[in-house]
Amino acid sequence: MPTVELTTDNFDDVISGNDFVIIDFWADWCDPCTMFAPVFERSSQHHDDIVFAKVDTEAQPELAGAFDVRSIPTLAIVRDNVLVFQQPGALPEPVFEDLIRQARELDMDEVRKNAE
């Protein structure tokens, strides 16, 4: 599935309209971001049930601010409208795939219960 560009205009629709969204906060001047981009793209092709979204922090500073992004790249995972993971840093492909596996295995009823 191709990646989606997240903006303030489509953010709510993308997040609320999908059960599993992985967000890559990036900028074109960021070397680690450009090194991670192919990993993100390859993973998006292997997981049809996940929306892979990118936020250009230069073009969408409001979204970066809403997620309190302080360094890039930063990854965020939203499942069932709940932020379940956020961390800065580019990940090697095997680590990123393991992160996706772990996010898939989350018991979202338990996550929501613990968030209360």
Spell out the residues 6+ positions from residue 51 whose beta carbon is closer than 8 angstroms to its own: 1, 4, 14, 18, 20, 21, 22
d(CA 87, CA 2) in angstroms, rounded, equals 23
**Peptide bond preceding 73: is omega within 30 degrees of 0, i.e. cis?**
yes
Contact between residue 34 and residue 28 where contact means Cβ atoms under 8 Å apart: yes
Q: How many residues does the chain have?
A: 116
The residues that are catalytic are 30, 33
